[in-house]
Amino acid sequence: MSTAIDNFTSQLHDNLEAVEDRAKSLNKSIKSATKKNQDDIQSQLNKAKASLAAKKQEFDDYRAKLKTQFEDKEADVQSSVDEWKANREIKKLEHRAEQAEDYAATSVSVAMAMMEEAEEATLEAICKRMDAEAANGNSKKH
């Protein structure tokens, strides 16, 4: 493989491992939530909200970039690509490859952002369920 492909796949692998680690952390957090009291869950939720708030613009930028990249990807006409290949238009093909790599990297970044949002949403759902159970007299005491 070429160095560019090696670098891209290595970076993608690292990013996907980060997503996997985040998913495992979320899973562990959800499993342990039932063993915690509402104050502990609320504290965890507050931390997750603060983290999301700090990264909101970054996440919004990723989403906007992904939308633009998706639209560009849809406009990529196969007949033009075939012509570029036949005419050995390396710069156009390189640019197309770089766009595809950037799209993949942005997609992984969005996945990472969604994991953080999923954690916050899950903790919030647990807190709200605990509120409902507390009102019904079925909760762990604070």
pLDDT, one tens digit per residue, over 102-115 is 888 888 888 888 88
Mean pLDDT of 38-54: 85
d(CA 47, CA 68): 31
The pTM (predicted TM-score) of the whole model is: 0.65
d(CA 104, CA 19): 13
Mean pLDDT of 12-27: 85
Tokens representing residue 94 in the block = 């390189």
